[in-house]
Amino acid sequence: MGKFKFEIMEKEYFEMCLTEAKEQLKHINSSIKETRSKIYFLQGILIAVVGYLLNDIFKEDYFSLKSNMLYVTIPFMIFIIYSCRHAIVPLSLRFEGMSPNGFKSIIEQEDTLTHENVLNTYQVSIETNGRHLTVMSKGYNNAFKALLFWLFCCCLCIIVVITKSLVC
């Protein structure tokens, strides 16, 4: 009777740990998706701004306000894309070939060693995704700071061009 009760408690503990691991992994993955969408939005804005500013270059007006802002934009755009390069790392490279697909068939087995392997795999997934989220968040923060500095430089460009046009 004692062994049967121990097996039930062990199975309940495994289910509890498995549920907690799944919830943590879902939370981390949703945070990764949210951060990645913010990064893509930021990069999309920069590409749109560069596309708008290229108009004067195509008209061979190299010293207009838009051209000067383009000259300021390109280094910041390169820095922002470099900072956010971790957002485009594919899932297979993050997990180094390991993925939690097919866990359902493994979980149904009653072997304690199998349960430990499943929990260890989830733990590795949580750690890998957590590290990836940390790197992505740092890249996003750096990109956002660069964007603020870029806006400041664009304002300086506008002031310089306006004062230059008033003097002439």
> Which of helix, strand or coil describes residue 30?
helix
Give the start-to-end residue ranges of the domains of the chain. Answer: 28-167
d(CA 148, CA 140): 12
Which one has a higher pLDDT value, 116 or 145?
145
On whether the CB atoms of residues 53 and 70 are closer than 8 A, the answer is: yes
Better pLDDT: 168 or 87: 87
Q: Which segment of 61-70, 98-107, 140-149, 154-163 scores lowest on mean pLDDT?
A: 98-107
Confidence of residue 2 (pLDDT cuts 50, 70, 90): very low
Q: What is the pLDDT of residues 39-77, one digit of tens each?
A: 888 888 888 888 888 888 888 888 777 887 888 888 888
10 Å Cβ neighbour count for 144? 15
Stronger pLDDT, 90 or 76, i.e. the higher one: 76
Q: Which of 149, 147, 55, 154 has its CA nearest to residue 162?
A: 154
Read off the pLDDT of each residue in 113-141 and give the average, rounded to a whole number: 80
| Residue 7 reports pLDDT greater than 60 | no
Rounded CA-CA distance 31/108 in Å is 29
Rounded CA gap, 128 and 122, in Å? 10
Name the token pair of 56. Answer: 């004067």
**CA 125 vs CA 10, 90, 118, 154, 166: distances in Å:** 23, 14, 11, 42, 61
- Which pTM does this prediction carry? 0.66
pLDDT in tens, 9-42: 677 777 888 888 888 888 888 888 888 888 888 8
Per residue in 99-108, pLDDT tens? Answer: 555 555 555 5
